[in-house]
Structure 1
Amino acid sequence: MTSEEIGYRGPTACAAAGITYRQLDYWARTGLVEPSVRPAYGSGTQRLYSFHDVVVLKIVKRFLDTGVSLQNIRTTVQHLRERGFRDLERMTLMSDGATVYECTSPDEVHALLQGGQGIFGIAVGVVWRDVESALSQLHGERVDTGETLVGHNPADELARRRNRAV
């Protein structure tokens, strides 16, 4: 089963990303991080977040914790959406507090550090693995049937694909 076939309800997404349900709800209602598997259609429906959504939630949380403005975080999330999340786990996001930069090589990180100002970085691969680990301990839901999955690790399918590609 692929990670695209699994969704995570709000409480699970919150636990894996380290955020409150109030934050999750606000970010969904304001369009910062909307659930890509199933949005809420009024009261009683359950939002379902994808694995990538949960990774982005955790990235947003980390940036907020370091004082990056919500406006800059929105710009970053929009950039990640536009680029389609490909190679997300190989990326480092850097911020000087005013701007967020995407770095995909050590040379790009080094060039930013040469500016002399304080820089905060998020190695997205580390966040990716943290979310994988957290979700492997939590409940997921099959998108097609609604069946609850306990301890499903989305990395299993990704690892199989990587090994086949080599």
Structure 2
Amino acid sequence: MSTNKKKMRNAAIISAPKPLDLGGNTILVGHPGVDDQATMYSWARVQAIAAKAKLRGLLTDEDLDGLSPARQAVLIDRFAKAKASGAVATVNDDDLQGVLMSAPGVRMMVYLASRRYSPEITQKDLESLITEENAMAVFIAFWQATTDPIEPDTDPELAERLSQDPATGLPN
């Protein structure tokens, strides 16, 4: 099997939609695509910057309410540069992880991963299904549903590599 065919087959296995149970409601989610991941990163970055700005008393929720994520990012960037003189630091991995592991972050990930397969689900619907109390459990279930490992028994080449001694490449 050619390398491209293997990649396509593996991508199909990984991206096949899987059910995600949200308190009695089951929706289909798939591995987020590149566009979804970029959207999630941009959204998380805006949220992390907003959180830092709010912690410093620079912005309030009223300043950001009703604005799209893109407009929020512009407002935060301009506000931080004009008023904070560098007080709003750049976002690091811990900041992003904190946003992604929060209930709003999990809701956004689930929404982006479900919109192709469960278009009837809205972000508003997810607000009542994913709360601060169950966000971590939903995140774990989401992670398991969207990162389906390829088992050695379904990939003969992988099974062969796993049966070899890594140092010598000879069969175990």
Q: Whose strand proportion is higher, 1 or 2? A: 1
Greater radius of gyration (CA): 2
- TM-score norm. by structure 1 comes to 0.30
- Bigger relative contact order, structure 1 or 2, given CA contacts below 8 A and separation 6+? 2
